[in-house]
Amino acid sequence: MTKLTKKVHRMSSAVLDGSYGPDRDKRIAVTLLPNNMIELRPERTQRPERIALIDVYRYALRCRANAEYLAKARVAKEKKATRLAAERQARAEKRLLRD
């Protein structure tokens, strides 16, 4: 694999939404730096945010792990809701038969 010796610049196709205040409707300019850093900034600005490549990877792994954890929690919650509904129904039927 070739080592990165020069900066590589690219522009995103998606634009920022309104939650970013003055930067809304601006694309993100991404620069890969030779020292294993990524620089992100809104287009036509000079306010870069730099982050190490390893931190981006760590964040991506954490996001995937959290998504899997939440999916398992949703399944468990659905099972619990089904069980509680069945128990409620059984209690209601028992009350009706008793009277």
Please list, in sequence order, all residues whose beta carbon lies within 8 angstroms of the beta carbon of residue 6, skipping any fewer than 6 positions away.
Answer: 34
Range in 3-7, 40-44, 75-79 with the lowest mean pLDDT: 3-7
Instruction: Tell me the pTM.
Output: 0.71
Residues 85, 77: Cα–Cα separation, whole Å: 12
Look at residue 99 in the predicted model and tell me its pLDDT. Answer: 67
**Whether residue 6 has pLDDT greater than 80:** yes
Contact 49, 39 (CB under 8 A): yes
Look at residue 3 in the predicted model and tell me its pLDDT. Answer: 83
Computed on alpha carbons and rounded to an integer, the radius of gyration of the chain in Å comes to 25
**Whether residue 1 has pLDDT greater than 80:** no
Residues 39, 15: Cα–Cα separation, whole Å: 17
Instruction: Give per-residue pLDDT as tens, 20-59.
Output: 888 999 999 999 999 999 999 999 999 999 999 999 999 9
